[in-house]
Chains A and B, each alone.
Chain A
């Protein structure tokens, strides 16, 4: 009895030294398997499916900003060859029309961007063009937001603010069915 009590006194604590090793092992496992890549991308809303093609011929020509990307990844903006680098500024001018030109959009709410590509267009080019058009709108929203509320536009803004801005400058991008050129 006396012997037992002496043993109790010696080993009354579990040796926690190896606990660290076990934890290390697990830690290293998770370190190796972790991929901290947050998923980011351009969010779009596709139009609902309908059998018949929408008719855009009824629209006033000055309100339509047509962008065509062909299978050679060249850009045709409103009938002229263009470069991706100029697209953003060009689109911004078209939407806002600060000088009230005859051939640009009447007002931002009427502006429509029409994007059309070939089946052979490179996805990279397509996304680049889409990115520029989205960027044009983002910059306009930003400017409008600064003017109205004095803060830059972001997704964290109250929904009422965002609605107000999007009502003034709506993002209207219509994508036509691609033409069957250059499909591999």
Chain B
């Protein structure tokens, strides 16, 4: 008994913080892995509709994004309020049928050849947009033979 109390008395009261960096690093690595940097700044408002029959998009590198929506408040003076298509960081200026194939090709060359058939286009379309512009995008996609499409949506709580 005396042996125990002696030892305890001598031990320093401070908790060793040597393992703290390890713990923090662990958290850090977790967040580094799950982080997806926003690759393009949105110039338009996109609130995707709700749906129930959703599928996850698995490999991020195989997905390209097309945004459709109305320009944000601060861009309304220059671009007006009618719905527009955004590819990467800029609005489509010319015709969709010319720009979408270029956009798709730019993404395609970054993907290994074996995985190219699995490329999916994610359409992030605002719920308040009319089908006309969406249809134009779909037609352009079909013409450039990009047939795997995902209508981005949020999950609806039942």
Confirm or deny: B78 has a beta carbon within 8 angstroms of a beta carbon on chain A.
no
Choose, from B2-10, B47-55, B88-96, B108-116, the stretch at the interface.
B47-55
B17, B131, B147: the one within 8 Å of A46 (CB): B147
Neighbouring B residues of A119 by C-beta, 8 Å: 130-132, 135
Neighbouring B residues of A149 by C-beta, 8 Å: none
Neighbouring B residues of A79 by C-beta, 8 Å: none
Neighbouring A residues of B55 by C-beta, 8 Å: 40-43, 155
Neighbouring B residues of A16 by C-beta, 8 Å: 17-18, 21
Query: Please, what's the 1-or-0 string for A161-184, where 1 marks a CB less than 8 Å from any CB in chain B?
Result: 000000000000000011000111
Confirm or deny: A38 has a beta carbon within 8 angstroms of a beta carbon on chain B.
yes
Neighbouring A residues of B48 by C-beta, 8 Å: 41
Using known A-B contacts A118-B131, A123-B128, A124-B127, determine if residue A46 contacts B141 with beta carbons closer than 8 Å: yes
Neighbouring A residues of B82 by C-beta, 8 Å: 184
Determine whether the beta carbon of B142 is less than 8 Å from that of A17. no
Q: How far is the CB of B19 from chain A (nearest CB, A)?
A: 9
Neighbouring A residues of B148 by C-beta, 8 Å: 43, 45-46
Interface residues on A, range: 35 or more
Using known A-B contacts A30-B32, A31-B31, A42-B51, determine if residue A20 contacts B17 with beta carbons closer than 8 Å: yes
Determine whether the beta carbon of A131 is less than 8 Å from that of B130. no
Confirm or deny: A52 has a beta carbon within 8 angstroms of a beta carbon on chain B.
no
Query: Please, what's the 1-or-0 string for B40-83, where 1 marks a CB less than 8 Å from any CB in chain A?
Result: 00000000110111111100100100000000000000000011
Using known A-B contacts A41-B122, A127-B151, determine if residue A23 contacts B52 with beta carbons closer than 8 Å: no
Q: How far is the CB of B35 from chain A (nearest CB, A)?
A: 5
Query: Please, what's the 1-or-0 string for A1-37, where 1 marks a CB less than 8 Å from any CB in chain B?
Result: 0000000000000001101101110110011011110
A16, A24, A30, A39: most-surrounded residue (chain B CB, <10 A): A39
Query: Please, what's the 1-or-0 string for B1-44, where 1 marks a CB less than 8 Å from any CB in chain A?
Result: 00000000000000001101100110110011011111000000
Confirm or deny: B86 has a beta carbon within 8 angstroms of a beta carbon on chain A.
no
A19, A44, A118, A131: the one within 8 Å of B21 (CB): A19
Residues of B in contact with A (beta carbons under 8 Å apart): 17-18, 20-21, 24-25, 27-28, 31-32, 34-38, 48-49, 51-57, 60, 63, 82-83, 120, 122-123, 125-132, 134-135, 138-139, 141-143, 145, 147-155
Could you pull out 12 A-B pairs where Cβ atoms are within 8 angstroms?
A24-B24, A27-B24, A40-B153, A41-B54, A42-B150, A42-B151, A43-B55, A43-B120, A43-B150, A71-B130, A123-B130, A124-B127
